[in-house]
């Protein structure tokens, strides 16, 4: 699989932003960002996330069920749809073993956050001056129903900490959804501009792998967008 597609322009949410994103932007926190000069300091990223992204419809999400595959497209007793859901589950399971979404997300957050702060990216928190901790509660692909538009989503908390004291410098909540556009990762896709949960079930393993890589890009860019907003407000 080649490098990540360049999705920054798409992730800036041209058009009408969701209410969650508008609220997040309006309440962007500066914390203690103005107190520090981050230039040439060491920055590390630690990501705490579920082992796999979740893919489910809102009406099928049951947090008490074990395993993310069991939440995938439970759409009633219709045999045709059940068969589609089972095929989708098998392909997504294979794709998720090929793509370390949380790991790729952490790498991208480190690269972009270090550039924003003008800090030195470090592979380990040991010896770093600051640590960006990403606590992901949920992330993955969601649709309101089998026939509804499928979105990337992330629900997380991000904390910038002083090392080694663990003193809090800045924190932000990240909760957003962005429509999946197959043309951003599959040139010449026949699926159209946007896809539904049902169309997602018809993707190949390779296409699902590309979608999960895009999920890593989307999640990382949403997180660093929050940091950029906080820095901009702190420097005013």
Query: Do the Cβ atoms of 5 and 184 come closer than 8 Å?
Result: yes
Mean pLDDT of 8-25: 35
Mean pLDDT of 180-190: 65
pLDDT beyond 50 at 202: yes
List Cβ neighbours of 129 (8 Å cut-off, separation of 6 or more): 41, 42, 43, 119, 162, 163
pLDDT beyond 80 at 64: no
For the record, the structure tokens of 59 come out as: 């009406």
Predicted confidence band of residue 215 (pLDDT cuts 50, 70, 90): confident
Between 25 and 169, where is the model more confident? 169
- First-to-last alpha carbon distance for the chain, in angstroms, is 41
Predicted confidence band of residue 28 (pLDDT cuts 50, 70, 90): low
Long-range pairs, 95-101, Cβ under 8 A, ≥24: 95/205, 95/206, 95/208, 95/209, 95/211, 95/212, 96/52, 96/53, 96/212, 98/205, 98/209, 99/209, 99/212, 99/213, 99/216, 101/49, 101/52, 101/53, 101/139, 101/212, 101/213, 101/215, 101/216, 101/219
Mean pLDDT of 57-84: 47
Buried b (16+ CB within 10 A) or exposed e, 149-162: bbbbbbbbbbbbbb
Share of the chain above pLDDT 70, in %: 70
pLDDT beyond 90 at 159: yes
Query: Do the Cβ atoms of 72 and 142 come closer than 8 Å?
Result: no
Buried b (16+ CB within 10 A) or exposed e, 164-179: eeeeebbbbbbbbbbe
C-alpha span between 212 and 219 (Å, rounded): 10
For the record, the structure tokens of 231 come out as: 């820095």
pLDDT beyond 90 at 59: no
Range in 43-47, 75-79, 163-167 with the lowest mean pLDDT: 75-79
pLDDT beyond 80 at 57: no
| Phi/psi at 156 (5° precision) | -150, 165
Mean pLDDT of 58-67: 44
pTM over 0.85: no
Mean pLDDT of 79-106: 77
What's the pLDDT at 1?
A: 44
Range in 34-38, 89-93, 117-121 with the lowest mean pLDDT: 89-93
What's the pLDDT at 74?
A: 46
pLDDT beyond 60 at 236: yes
- Which H/E stretch holds residue 213? helix 205-234
List Cβ neighbours of 208 (8 Å cut-off, separation of 6 or more): 91, 92, 95, 200
What's the pLDDT at 83?
A: 67
| Phi/psi at 223 (5° precision) | -65, -50
What's the pLDDT at 186?
A: 63
Mean pLDDT of 125-144: 88
């Amino acid at each position: 699989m080649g490098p990540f597609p360049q999705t920054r322009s798409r992730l800036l949410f041209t058009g009408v932003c969701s209410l969650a994103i508008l609220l997040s932007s309006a309440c962007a926190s500066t914390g203690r960002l103005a107190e520090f000069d981050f230039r040439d300091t060491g920055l590390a990223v630690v990501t705490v996330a579920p082992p796999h992204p979740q893919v489910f419809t809102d009406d099928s999400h049951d947090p008490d069920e074990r395993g993310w595959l069991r939440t995938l497209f439970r759409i009633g007793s219709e045999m045709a749809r059940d068969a589609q859901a089972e095929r989708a589950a098998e392909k997504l399971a294979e794709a998720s073993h090929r793509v370390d979404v949380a790991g790729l997300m952490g790498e991208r957050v480190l690269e972009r956050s270090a550039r924003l702060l003008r800090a030195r990216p470090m592979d380990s928190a040991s010896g770093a001056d600051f640590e960006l901790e990403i606590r992901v509660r949920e992330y993955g692909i969601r649709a309101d129903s089998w026939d509804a538009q499928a979105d990337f989503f992330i629900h997380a908390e991000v904390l910038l900490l002083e090392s080694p004291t663990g003193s809090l410098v800045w924190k932000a909540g990240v909760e957003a959804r962005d429509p999946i556009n197959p043309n951003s990762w599959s040139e010449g896709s026949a699926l159209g501009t946007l896809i539904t949960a049902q169309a997602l079930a018809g993707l190949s393993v390779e296409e699902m792998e590309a979608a999960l890589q895009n999920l890593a890009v989307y999640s990382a860019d949403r997180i660093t967008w929050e940091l950029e907003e906080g820095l901009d407000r702190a420097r005013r």
